[in-house]
Structure 1
Amino acid sequence: MTTDPSPAASQKLRADAARNRETVLAAATRAFATSSTEPSMRAIARQAGVGVATVYRHFPTREALVDAVYQDQVVRLTSGARELLAGHPPAQALRLWMDLFGDWLATKHGMTDTLLAMIDSGEISLAHTRQELLSAITTILDAGATAGDIRADARAEDVSAGVLAMLAVAARSGDPAQAQRLLDLLMDGLRPR
Structure 2
Amino acid sequence: MAAERARPLRADAQANQDRILEAAARAFTRDGADASLKGIAQEAGVGIGTLYRRFPTREDLIEALYRNQTAALCDAATSLLDANPPALALRTWMDRFVDYVATKHGMAEALQAVLATHNDLRMRTRGMLGDAVARLVRAGVAAGTIRADIDTADVLMALSGVTLVAGEPAQRDQAARLLDLLMAGLEPRGPQPGE
User: Do these two structures clear the TM 0.5 threshold for a shared fold by scoring above it?
Assistant: yes
The answer to whether the 8 A contact 1:35-1:109 is kept is no
For structure 1, which runs of at least 5 residues remain unmatched after alignment?
1-12
* Identity rate, percent: 46
> 1:191 pairs with 181, 187, 194, which one?
187
The residue that corresponds to 2:150 in the other structure is 154
**SS of corresponding position for 1:108:** helix
> 1:170 pairs with 139, 159, 166, which one?
166
Aligned: 1:32 with 2:28: yes
User: Which stretch shows the higher mean deviation, 109-118 or 19-28?
Assistant: 109-118
Letter in 2 for 1:56: Y
State the 1:155 CA deviation: 1.3
The answer to whether the 8 A contact 2:38-2:48 is kept is yes
**TM-score (normalised: structure 1):** 0.87
Letter in 2 for 1:82: T
State how far apart, in whole Å, the 2-side matches of 1:26 and 1:154 are: 35
The answer to whether the 8 A contact 1:67-1:124 is kept is no
The residue that corresponds to 1:7 in the other structure is none
Letter in 2 for 1:127: M
The residue that corresponds to 1:47 in the other structure is 43
User: Which stretch shows the higher mean deviation, 18-27 or 133-142?
Assistant: 18-27
State how far apart, in whole Å, the 2-side matches of 1:161 and 1:52 are: 39
Letter in 1 for 2:166: A
Aligned pairs for 1:11-30 within 5 A: 14-30=10-26
The residue that corresponds to 2:53 in the other structure is 57
Q: Given the superposition, is the C-alpha separation of residues 175 and 104 from structure 1 closer, same or farther in structure 2, using an over 3 Å criterion?
A: closer
For structure 2, which runs of at least 5 residues remain unmatched after alignment?
1-8, 190-195
The answer to whether the 8 A contact 2:102-2:169 is kept is no
Letter in 2 for 1:100: R
**SS of corresponding position for 2:130:** helix
Q: Which has the larger radius of gyration?
A: 1
